[in-house]
Amino acid sequence: MSVSHDDVEPVTERVHDNSWSANLEKPHHGEDHELVVSQAKDAVEHTAPGNHVNLVTHGDHGHPETYLYEALAEAYGDAVVYEYVEQCGCGGHVTRAHVEEAV
């Protein structure tokens, strides 16, 4: 059963003027890859230019290049540069999104 996106706590509610990590590997993220993409975009939008956010995604969706990279590129173009960092021991993946200019 899918959880309504409106029922899920936001990944953040403030703009981060530093580098930070967004935890997108909770059980409800594993059930809904669209939620992961949506909250990854929210995390990017809550990161001040010149900083990065580590998007820690649920392992159930596989490598983020298969679903997240294209979504970020379509949404932000050259304003955000992303790089794959590593796979966590728990199976999740870390993608670092560098916010180059306001999105």
Decide if 72 contacts 100 (C-beta within 8 A): no
User: Which tokens is 90 given?
Assistant: 């728990």
Residue in the structure block whose two tokens are 């392992």:
59
User: CA 18, CA 54: separation in Å to the nearest integer?
Assistant: 11
Give the chain's residues under pLDDT 70: 1-7
Percent of the chain with pLDDT over 70: 93
pTM of structure: 0.89
For the domain covering 19-99, report its CATH number.
3.30.1370
